[in-house]
Structure 1
Amino acid sequence: MSFTSRFALRRRGLAAAGTAAVLALALAACGSSKDSDASMPGMDHGAHPSASSSSASGMDHDHGSMPGMDHGSMGDGLADAKDGYKLTSTATELPAGKETAYKFQVAGPDGKPVTAFAVDQTKRMHFYAVRSDLTGFQHLHPSMADGTWTADLAALEPGTWRTYASFTPDSGPGKGKGFVLSRTVTVPGDAKKTSLPEAASSTEVDGYTVTVKGVLMAGMAHPATVSISKDGKPVTELQPYLDTYAHLTAFHEGDQAFAHLHPETEAKGDNGGPDLSFQAMLPKPGNWRMFLQFQTGGKLHTAALTLNVS
Structure 2
Amino acid sequence: MKNIFPASIVLVLSFVAFWGCNNPAKPAEDAAAAVAVSAKYICPMNCEKGKTYDQPGTCPVCNMNLEPVKAEETGNTAEYFTDFVATPQQLEAGKPALLSFTPRIKGNESAAVPLDLVHEKKMHLILVSDDLSWFDHIHPEYQANGAYEIKVLGKGENFTNGRGHSETRFDAGGKYWAFADFKPSGGLNQVNKIELNVAGTPAKASVSDQPKMATTVDGYAIKFDTHGGTIASGSPAHLHIDITEKGQRLTPDKIENYLGAKAHVILVEATTKEFVHVHPEFVGDELEMNTTFAKPGTYRGWLQFQTKGKVHTADFALKVDMGKDGHEGHGHDDHSGH
Normalised by the size of structure 1, how large is the TM-score?
A: 0.69
1:210 matched residue in structure 2: 222
1:170 matched to 2:185: yes
Distance 1:181 1:273 in 2: 35
Residues 227 and 163 of structure 1, relative CA distance in 2, 3 Å threshold: same
2:235 is matched with 220
1:124 to 116, 122, 125: 122
1:40-51 equivalences under 5 Å are: none
Q: 1:256, 1:128 → 2: CA distance?
A: 12
Larger RCO: 1 or 2 (CA < 8 Å, sep 6+): 1
**Within 5 Å, which residues of 2 pair with 1:182-201?**
182-197=193-208, 198-201=210-213
Rounded to whole Å, the distance in 2 between the matches of 1:26 and 1:93 is 39
Q: In the alignment, is the contact (CA less than 8 A) between 1:23 and 1:260 conserved in 2?
A: no
**Counterpart code for 1:251:** V
Detail structure 1 runs of 4+ shifted over 6 Å in the superposition. Answer: none
**Once the 2 structures are TM-superposed, how far is the Cα of residue 123 of structure 1 from its aligned partner?**
1.2
- Rate the CA distance shift 1:262–1:228 in 2: closer, same or farther, 3 A: closer
SS across alignment from 1:112: coil
Would you say how many aligned residue pairs link Structure 1 and Structure 2?
239
1:84 is the counterpart of 2:96: no
The one-letter code of the counterpart of 1:201 is M
The DSSP-based 3-state class of the residue aligned with 1:24 is coil
Equivalent position of 2:90 in the other structure: 93
Counterpart position of 1:247: 264
Q: How far does residue 83 in structure 1 lie from its aligned partner after superposition?
A: 5.2
What CA deviation, in whole Å up to 9, does each residue of 1:105-153 have, x standing for no partner? 1111421254411111111111111100001111111111121110234
Alpha-carbon spacing, 1:90–1:99, altered in 2? closer, same or farther (3 Å): closer
More helix per residue: 1 or 2?
Answer: 2
Give me the whole-angstrom Cα distance separating, in 1, the residues matched to 2:246 and 2:273: 34
Larger radius of gyration: 2
Which runs of no fewer than 5 residues in structure 1 stay unpaired? 1-7, 17-21, 28-63, 74-81
Q: Structure 2: which amino acid aligns with 1:248?
A: V
TM-score by length of 2: 0.63
RMSD: 3.1
1:100–1:154 Cα contact (<8 Å) kept:
no
Match of 1:55 in 2: none
CA distance 1:262–1:233, change in 2 (3 Å): closer
Query: Given the superposition, is the C-alpha separation of residues 223 and 104 from structure 1 closer, same or farther in structure 2, using an over 3 Å criterion?
Result: same
Aligned-pair CA distance for 1:282: 1.2
